[in-house]
Structure 1
Amino acid sequence: MSAASERAGALISELRNIVSSGALSEKERVELLQSVVKFTTLLEKPEDAITKLLYTPSRFVALRVCSELKLFNQIVEHGPITSKELAHATGVDQLLIERLLRVLTASDFVTETAVATYAPSGVTEALATRLMTGMVEAVYDVGLPGMTAIPEYLRNTSYKNPHDAANGPWQLGRGIKDQQIFSWLQQHPRELGLMQTYFEADRGSRPNWVDWFPVEEKLIQNSGLDKDQVLLVDVAGGRGHELSAFLDKFPNLPGRLILQDQPHVLDDPTLGLDPRIEKKTIDFWVEGPVQGARIYYMKFILHDWSDEQCLQILSHLTAAMDKSTSLLVVEDFIIPDTGCHLLPAMWDIEMMAFLSAMERTRSQWQKLLSAAGLDVLGMYDPPGDGTGIIVSRLSS
């Protein structure tokens, strides 16, 4: 082994020890990850970096097929397991399994222990869960047509920034017109279920806002709430996963917790909510949420829509707010003017593909909320590369 290889091996071992020790904060972890990416870029020749990027879709294809075949579950439950054993368990061609998993072992998504023999890595274990399976299938099955249509859409519109949620890249990729993705999903139950799982899982392993944001200090202190008043309304909160996390963190806070969404979401038989969480339907295009709550919480809602549509939604919400006590808490990406992390930058293009929408910068959030008659009390960046928190109240 060369001296350079030995130094690299020692560096990798040191890095592995640091990560496995759990000593890194989320901020340090993300900063270190950025440094590793820069180190990789330094080592990789430009032409090789471009070639690898061009062939990246093959990894997503392998991931999607293996997810559908439940190969990750088999590897987690029975690994180390051979391709022959996987073929017997699934009824899938053995050679096909080897070709698919070759891409994923090379990506360190699956561990290769011997010839055509596979064991689980941490990524494999994650891919065997309901949430990550749903994420993979949702992005691939629902989202990819919009992503692949972006170049054609932009050519057709003389490279105007997309803004029409009913006629954007996603509609072009699907071959439909004048229909937003959310109404399409109501007509396609399988894809709707995938997207609801996606919304449950989209935080990934990044810390929940209740674990890093000073909730009691900034939102609860001196509120004077009793058990019969509404503490928190999760507006368009899907399966209620964010409310559940809030309740787990603050089980003894007084006040009611209310999940509001459309009937087809709240009627989902898989919805297993704590009985302390109330369900109430809402169509935020035509009505406001429950009146007079202390906190109205919206995660990944306003980033779905243009400023004009957001103002329509917010006009109904602000009409429900109490001028002296209510707060609006928006959880979303807050794009910095420079030095944006890769995740929110990529998410921004996803929003373009799905909804002709976008992630907003700090100044864009300020402008939008001010136009809605709200005073921004603070914008709080997360400890890593995830979503931030914006707190506002009715303008005085």
Structure 2
Amino acid sequence: MASFQDTISTLDAIHPSQFSTDAERFEAKEAARRLLTRLETPFEQGWRLSFETPVLVAGVQTILDLGIWKKWMEADKKNPGAPVHLNQLLEWANTKAEPNLLRRFLRHIAALYVLEETDVDTWKPTPYSLSLGDTVSHTDQITKCGIDHTIPTGCNLPGFLKKYNYREPIDLTQLDNYRDMTNGTDFFATCAADPQGKGSSFMGLMTALRNHKMDWTDVYDTKRIVDGAAIETGKPLFVDIGGAHGLDTSRLLDKHPNLPADVLILQDTPEVVAMPIEDLDKRIVKQAYDFFTPQPQLHARAYFFHAVPHDWPDADCVRMFSQVAAVFKRGYSKLLIYEVVLPKKGATNLMTTLDLQLMNCTSGMERTEEHWARLLKEAGFRIAEISRHPRAVESVIEADLL
């Protein structure tokens, strides 16, 4: 029988490089989560959730605000894995900070393994801490969006549900936790009113999520869009509705790099469309559009929604899908929705987190296949096919007119 120290050594030796696929890594990570839950006492679990985590988030964000994570990431490129002393970290800060204030946060961050403590007042980075300084990954925006939106609304949610007799908040006009917290301003209005702050952190979170999740073009065979399509400059082929930074449109272009200009349309609100997008292919046309108003792109091959309908109650989804139905070319156009299709049993924690955060912030939800079928039928559509992938959180629903 292995000794206690052998067991600890075996656990400490497990590394992501050991796994042949990301699916295996994820399965091992979930096993480690189950192990942690078994090993923790009820007190330890409650303490981790309610006491360790809030001040960890506060520390991570404070160091982000000081600009230290970015400088650390840049220095690590020149000397990978090198320990850094507190004095150097203070020098990297973009404003003066008291040494012991920073030390206290770093101690906690290291105690929770976001950093590795190597000596007195000395720490090595981890992949996560380095990602906080890498603006391309947008990992930093996960923390910022949490502080701006999901953490305060999560604190408000129990009292909100109690006040309204534990009714499910599925009607944005009647039951909205975000409005309750802000005394009348909903999530999207808050983001629009502060595009460089709370709006930016939300857009950053969406980019981080899309970077993390499987590309929709690896779940759905995009030849079904291009093959047989009338591809002409100025005639819409693919309309990405609520497409934000255009990642999904860009991924379609990556699959079909010879598409001409002006056939790929990226639509979002005027505030989002006005934001500069680095490296967006000039062939992609940005267009300001409110998806509750008549769709200006007629007879496109595909009208695409990614992580948009789940923000809205059923009645609003029917309104947005009806605008697509009005410009659909029967037998040619496709409605594509890339979102979670909840299983009746065995939903992953990412699916359940998304579902509850949608309820928390927008009175939205993730839906089952049966729910999607009912919703689309009300808007005049039927599900033609659902493309799934074992490693994908979301599925691509393809719908046609009834």
* TM > 0.5: yes
Structure 2, unpaired ranges of 5+: 76-81
Asked whether the equivalents of residues 336 and 398 of structure 2 are also in contact (C-alpha less than 8 Å), the reply is yes
Partner of 1:70: 67
CA deviation map 1:149-205 (0-9, x unaligned): 10110111000011242552112222x22x432223222232222222222222242
Partner of 1:60: 57
Partner of 1:258: 265
Displacement of 1:314 after TM fit?
Answer: 0.8
Partner of 2:190: 184
Partner of 1:3: 3
AA aligned to 1:265 is V
Moved more, 161-170 or 256-265: 161-170
Asked whether the equivalents of residues 73 and 134 of structure 2 are also in contact (C-alpha less than 8 Å), the reply is no
Structure 1, unpaired ranges of 5+: none
Please give the TM-score of this superposition, normalised by the length of structure 1: 0.91
Once residues 340 and 248 of structure 2 are traced to their aligned partners in structure 1, the CA distance between those partners, rounded to angstroms, is 16
Displacement of 1:333 after TM fit?
Answer: 1.4
Asked whether the equivalents of residues 219 and 396 of structure 2 are also in contact (C-alpha less than 8 Å), the reply is no
AA aligned to 1:135 is I
AA aligned to 1:64 is Q
Once residues 19 and 243 of structure 2 are traced to their aligned partners in structure 1, the CA distance between those partners, rounded to angstroms, is 32
Q: Report SS of the residue matched to 1:392.
A: strand
Asked whether the equivalents of residues 86 and 94 of structure 1 are also in contact (C-alpha less than 8 Å), the reply is no
Q: Report SS of the residue matched to 2:210.
A: coil
Would the alpha carbon gap of residues 315 and 342 (structure 1) be closer, same or farther in structure 2, given more than 3 Å must change?
A: same
Q: Report SS of the residue matched to 2:357.
A: helix
AA aligned to 1:114 is D
Once residues 382 and 103 of structure 1 are traced to their aligned partners in structure 2, the CA distance between those partners, rounded to angstroms, is 39
Displacement of 1:385 after TM fit?
Answer: 5.6
AA aligned to 1:209 is W
Displacement of 1:309 after TM fit?
Answer: 0.7
AA aligned to 2:35 is F
Instruction: Summarize the alignment of residues 169-248 of structure 1 with structure 2, pairs less than 5 Å apart.
Output: 169-174=177-182, 176-177=183-184, 179-189=185-195, 190-216=197-223, 218-223=224-229, 225-227=231-233, 229-248=235-254
Partner of 2:393: 386
Would the alpha carbon gap of residues 10 and 21 (structure 1) be closer, same or farther in structure 2, given more than 3 Å must change?
A: closer
Once residues 225 and 325 of structure 2 are traced to their aligned partners in structure 1, the CA distance between those partners, rounded to angstroms, is 17
Once residues 337 and 307 of structure 1 are traced to their aligned partners in structure 2, the CA distance between those partners, rounded to angstroms, is 19
Partner of 2:151: 144
Displacement of 1:295 after TM fit?
Answer: 1.2
What is the RMSD computed on CA atoms of the aligned residues?
Answer: 2.2
Partner of 2:274: 267
Asked whether the equivalents of residues 143 and 170 of structure 1 are also in contact (C-alpha less than 8 Å), the reply is no
Instruction: Summarize the alignment of residues 211-360 of structure 1 with structure 2, pairs less than 5 Å apart.
Output: 211-216=218-223, 218-223=224-229, 225-227=231-233, 229-253=235-259, 256-270=263-277, 272-360=279-367
Displacement of 1:338 after TM fit?
Answer: 0.9
Q: Report SS of the residue matched to 1:203.
A: helix
Please give the TM-score of this superposition, normalised by the length of structure 2: 0.89
Once residues 254 and 22 of structure 1 are traced to their aligned partners in structure 2, the CA distance between those partners, rounded to angstroms, is 41
Once residues 389 and 25 of structure 2 are traced to their aligned partners in structure 1, the CA distance between those partners, rounded to angstroms, is 13
2:125 is the counterpart of 1:117: no
Once residues 126 and 289 of structure 1 are traced to their aligned partners in structure 2, the CA distance between those partners, rounded to angstroms, is 40
AA aligned to 2:87 is K
AA aligned to 2:246 is G
Q: Report SS of the residue matched to 2:360.
A: helix
Equivalenced residue count is: 387
Partner of 1:46: 42
2:103 is the counterpart of 1:98: yes
Would the alpha carbon gap of residues 308 and 229 (structure 1) be closer, same or farther in structure 2, given more than 3 Å must change?
A: same
Q: Report SS of the residue matched to 2:116.
A: strand
Displacement of 1:271 after TM fit?
Answer: 5.5
CA deviation map 1:57-92 (0-9, x unaligned): 222222222221222123223352211221233221
